[in-house]
Amino acid sequence: MAQVLSVKDFASTIQQAQHPVLIDFYADWCGPCKMVSPIVEELAGQYEGQLDVYKVNVDDSPEIAGQYQIMSIPTLMFFKNGVSVRTQIGFVPKPVLENMIKEVL
């Protein structure tokens, strides 16, 4: 299960990651976020050991959302070596997300 990151551990987590990182920016009230969440969780298990997956609640961590200019949710952001390399805004089906993961890996 993807761990929820807070402001205090966000930067160090993505900077020190041994693998590419997928951040799922979401909110509890967001319908499309609830649709993509089970897909993200499933892929987190499928790519365990190759991809680190975390979640950021934009209501609880507006500083992070602001830093990465998250204007719409869900936003899925991929990081490599602490740098954002790919962003997907809105719901996407599992095969599309899986192709993104393969590109980032």
- Binning pLDDT at 50, 70 and 90, where does residue 2 land? confident
Active site residues: 30, 33
Q: Spell out the CATH class of 3-104.
A: alpha beta
For 80-96, write each residue's pLDDT tens digit: 999 999 999 999 999 99
- Strand pairing category for 75-80 and 21-26: antiparallel
The pTM assigned to this predicted structure is 0.94
Averaged pLDDT, 58-69: 95
Q: Which two tokens stand for residue 44?
A: 């987190």
pLDDT at 52 over 80: yes
* Domain-wise residue ranges, the chain: 3-104
Label residue 28 exposed, middle or buried (CB < 10 Å: 0-12, 13-18, 19+): exposed
The answer to whether residue 1 scores a pLDDT higher than 80 is no
Q: Which helix (H) or strand (E) is 76 found in, with range?
A: strand 75-80
